[in-house]
Structures are given as structure tokens and as C-alpha cells.
Amino acid sequence: MEDYPESAEFIVIGCGIIGASTAYHLSKANKDVIVLDANEVVSQASGRNGGMVVQLDARDINAGVLKAKLSFARKAIEELKNFQKELDADFEFEQNGSLDFIFDKEELESLKKFVDIQHSSGDDEIQLLNQEDTISSMP
């Protein structure tokens, strides 16, 4: 039987992506940490996710909220890129973009407003494409 510590400054319950990150940063800060999980490290939902990282995925029409989300999302994406360098590990992180399809004129008008608000919030990557542009942009 392995020897386990009887105490620690911090005990992290669960070693999914959040628990693993928490334990990593505590250890990096020279904190005494124990991680407890009923399963393997970063298994369960954290081990099976689709790996999708999007800049913004909601159709929030509040420009202030969007600006805050955009700032947070950009920081998170930079952290993912830096984390690869810090750990000297290739996570095969790649940003490909995403598509959101529209099926009627009402939804189109709603999305036009959303795109305008995102642009005014500082998102210069979002584009509203027609069918022809969408098809021609595919690899």
C-alpha cells in the first residue's frame, strides 16, 4: 500500500480540468496540496470533451457584457497557448473558428444586430457570411 500524507495545506477534491489546474497552480505557488479523485486524473467529462475553444458562443446583446466576455475569452485563449510553452507540451491547440447557421429572415435580423454589437465590443473576428461566401471559405 502506498504512503499517503495525513494532512496538507490544501485538499483538491476531484481532478478534472478545474481540479488539475487548481492543484497545478497551488503547487507552482509552493503550496502543500493533495488531490483526491475516485477516478483517473482528468478522466470522466474532462477526458472526453470535444476540445472546443470559442471566443464567444452566446448571442448576448448587452455590449458591456460582451466586451467583458471577450476580454476574458481572449485572456483564456492566451493562457492555453502559454500553458503549452510552460509545460513544454504540445496539446495540439488549434483555433479553427466556428459556424452558426441561420434558417429564416427573423433570425438573420437578430444575428445582424448581434454581429454589430460584437464588432462594437471589440470582436474583429466575427463575420456574417452569405451562403456563397460560406461555401467558398470551406477548406
Q: Report the alpha-carbon distance of residue 57 to residue 53 in Å, rounded.
A: 9
pLDDT of residue 58: 62
Q: Report the alpha-carbon distance of residue 72 to residue 75 in Å, rounded.
A: 5
33 φ, ψ (degrees, to nearest 5)? -135, 140
Whether 52 has a pLDDT exceeding 60, the answer reads yes
Q: How confident is the model at residue 30 (pLDDT cuts 50, 70, 90)?
A: very high
Question: How many whole angstroms from its chain centre is CA 11?
Answer: 25
Whether 11 has a pLDDT exceeding 90, the answer reads yes
Whether 123 has a pLDDT exceeding 90, the answer reads no
pLDDT of residue 65: 82
Q: How confident is the model at residue 34 (pLDDT cuts 50, 70, 90)?
A: very high
Q: Report the alpha-carbon distance of residue 90 to residue 1 in Å, rounded.
A: 34
Q: How confident is the model at residue 117 (pLDDT cuts 50, 70, 90)?
A: confident
C-alpha cell at 103: 434558417
pLDDT of residue 13: 92
Spatial neighbors of 9 by CB under 8 A, at least 6 apart, are 26, 31, 32, 33
Helices (H), the chain: 17-28, 44-48, 63-87, 105-120, 131-137
Whether 93 has a pLDDT exceeding 80, the answer reads no
118 to each of 29, 68, 74, 96, 123, how far by Cα in Å? 37, 11, 14, 19, 5
Residue 106 DSSP label: H
Q: How confident is the model at residue 75 (pLDDT cuts 50, 70, 90)?
A: confident
